[in-house]
Copies of this chain bind each other. A is one copy, B any other.
Amino acid sequence: MTMRGDDIEPVLAALADPTRRRVLDAVASRGEATATMIAAELPVSRQAVVKHLGVLDQAGLVTGRKAGREMLYTARPEPLDNAARWMDAVAAEWDARLARIKHLAELPASAAETGAPAGDER
């Protein structure tokens, strides 16, 4: 029940918090870790870590697996990678759009189509 993968919203939100990033990183650096283990090396309580792990899990950045009385979490790069690609796409789109606009603006006003307003702005 943690099939969130295509929604960048939670990923960005999860990554926005510094502490949460540290938690994530801590998990990643151990391959697998429990909230207790992580809390031991961070200046926050175990419960805080638990909450962060909850958010991270919600974003698909970690997955929990119960082993005996422990809850082991593992980091998952996919969502991150996913978000990165999304960003690239958006950036590219903006880039294109801006380039297009700039291009039009710099045209020597040769073809005057559409009853557009008089060229000069301001």
Contacts and interface: CB of A to CB of B under 8 A. Distances in A.
B80 A91 contact: yes
Contacts of A91: 77, 80-81, 84
A28 B94 contact: yes
Given A67-B122, A122-B67, A122-B68, A83 B94 contact: no
A102 B68 contact: no
By DSSP majority rule, is chain A's interface helix, strand, loop, or mixed? helix
Count copies of this chain in the complex: 2
A87 interface: yes
Interface in A1-40: 9, 12-13, 15-16, 18, 28-29, 31
Nearest to A102: B31
A122 B71 CA distance: 12
Given A12-B12, A13-B16, A16-B16, A87 B83 contact: yes
A75 interface: yes
A97 interface: yes
A18 B8 CA distance: 10
Interface of A: 9, 12-13, 15-16, 18, 28-29, 31, 67-68, 74-75, 77, 80-81, 83-85, 87-88, 90-95, 97-98, 101-102, 121-122
